Structure 1
Amino acid sequence: MTFPFTANSLVKDIVNELPKTSDVFKKNRIDFCCGGNIPLSLAVDQNGLNMDSLLAELKLVFDKYENAEKDVEVWTDSDSNTIIDHVISNYHRVSEEELSMLSPYVTKVSRVHGDNHPELLKVYELFYEFKKELQEHMAKEEAVVFPLIKQLGDGKVENREEAINLIIELEKEHDHAGEILRKIRAVTSDYTLPLDACGTYRLVYARLEALEGLTFMHVHLENNILFPRYLSK
């Protein structure tokens, strides 16, 4: 797909089409929420920016999105080390970045709109629970379990049962993370926006739903492709 944004694209339309571009606008002090109904060219002029540089930043986000996993079944025939490296680069690092970047938006929306939309207070609580658990989970995978899996493949693990138990523990953590995401989806009524939702409100729902998809693909690679290689032996 060709890069779709130009100097004439409205800021709000860019964010609506690709929510992650909000990080670019925030960094460049461009109001994509209340002031987003202007073309990119005007936003550039108002903020003394360089159009080519801004478009290049937006294209980086677009290219990253376009190159995201489309069909993970291709990994069925890949060796475990390749899958692990792929998970770390394309899921762990991406999830860490998104959890960090999304946090202030979730906090802001719950603080500003929580009185009128109490479900946002629950979203705030669930999001930060999910963030803490996923960060701890990914750290454990990288520090302990993934190295063990690589050793299992090389036949260098002395206590195979302990390694298997750790993999089973990871699967349980996946289940709990998925349950938190299901609760967020339930409390937001499948990310249904109220009539008075502002741009940041819409952004939070869009990125939470994208984070859900990213996490489910992450879990699919591990639960359905990587882990069964060792649990079935």
Structure 2
Amino acid sequence: MTFPFSANSLVKDIVNELPKTSDVFKRYRIDFCCGGNIPLSEAATQGDLDIDSILEDLKAVYEKNESKETDLEVWTNSDSNTIIDHVIANYHRATEEEFKMLSPYVTKVSRVHGDNHPELLKVYELYQELKKEMLEHMAKEEETVFPIIRKLADGTVENREEAINMIIELEKEHDNAGAILKELRKITGDFTPPIDTCGTYRLVYNRLEDLEGLTFMHVHLENNILFPRYI
């Protein structure tokens, strides 16, 4: 797993390849949109910033992203409690953080460009619906259903039929989230922004596609590995 960026990498190229790095640039107040066509080293010099610290933060984002690639092979043979803990730590928390960080960008782009690109108003609407659905869904998993699955795993559940029905309900919620993401992908032309759009516009589409991937892996671990053990 070789870190692909260096001080000579253009800021805009880093964000285009790994949209989550925009959070790092935002924290350092580095303009990755209009002023992103410069090497990282130059951006650091302009802001009187420590290039090594920036690279370390970028590397942390990269490594966190790459670690997701091993989920399928690692978690298939893991016990249910381990999978639940992994989903909460790596998907629930990451999804909550992404909604928090992405929401201002979605709002800004729809407000600034919505008149000329009315599809952005629908993107905003769908995004808010997805955000509400997923936050409520994850809270239900952590507060109610995951504790019941833990009891199913150790054989101490009192009402197995009720527990199974709760799991089935979660799968229906997964289907609904998938339908929203499918509509988002359709209305954005597979998350492809118009050629003449600004960096923030492109960033929103890139991160929406990343959010789709994060959600799909979250659902995969539950629907295809965890839930079938009890249904």
TM-score between both structures, scaled by the size of structure 2: 0.97
| Residue of structure 2 in register with 1:161 after alignment | 161
Counterpart residue number, 1:193: 193
Q: Which residue of 1 aligns with 2:211?
A: 211
Equivalent residue runs for 1:71-82 within 5 Å: 71-82=71-82
User: d(CA) in 2 for partners of 1:88 and 1:52?
Assistant: 31
CA distance in 1, matches of 2:64, 2:121: 31
Q: Which residue of 2 aligns with 1:42?
A: 42
TM-superposed deviation, 1:37: 0.7
Q: For residues 129 and 171 of structure 1, what CA distance do their matches in structure 2 show?
A: 17
Question: Which residue identity is paired with 1:128?
Answer: Q
User: Gaps (5+ residues) in structure 1?
Assistant: none
The within-5 A match list for 1:33-112 is 33-112=33-112
Distance in 1, Cα, partners of 2:149 & 2:30: 45
CA distances 1:125-182 after superposition (whole Å, capped 9, x unpaired): 1001101110110011011100000101111111111111111110110000000001
The question of 1:223 aligning with 2:223 is answered: yes
Query: Alignment partner of 1:227: what SS?
Result: helix
The question of 1:7 aligning with 2:17 is answered no
Q: Distance in 1 between matches of 2:189 and 2:39?
A: 32
Q: How far apart are 1:70 and its partner, in Å?
A: 3.6
Deviation, 1:73, is 4.1
CA distance in 1, matches of 2:142, 2:16: 34
* Structure 1 runs, 4 residues or longer, greater than 3 Å off: none
CA distance in 2, matches of 1:113, 1:70: 38
Q: Aligned pair count?
A: 231
Unaligned runs of 5+ in 2: none
Q: Deviations over 1:98-144 (max 9, x none)?
A: 11111111111111111111111100010011011101100110111
**Aligned counterparts of 2:71 and 2:95: Cα–Cα separation in 1:** 19
User: Residue 202 of structure 1 aligns with which residue?
Assistant: 202
Distance across 1 between alignment mates of 2:74 and 2:52: 36
How many Å separate the matches in 2 of 1:79 and 1:71? 14
Counterparts of 2:173 and 2:71 in 1: how far apart (Å)? 24
Report the Cα offset of residue 76 of structure 1.
2.1
What's the C-alpha RMSD, in Å, of the aligned pairs?
1.1
| Aligned position for 2:180 | 180
AA aligned to 2:195 is L
AA aligned opposite 1:180: I
TM-score (norm 1): 0.96
Distance in 1 between the 2:179 and 2:79 partners? 30
> Hey, what's the Cα distance between the residues in 1 that align with 2:89 and 2:69?
12
**% of aligned pairs identical?**
76
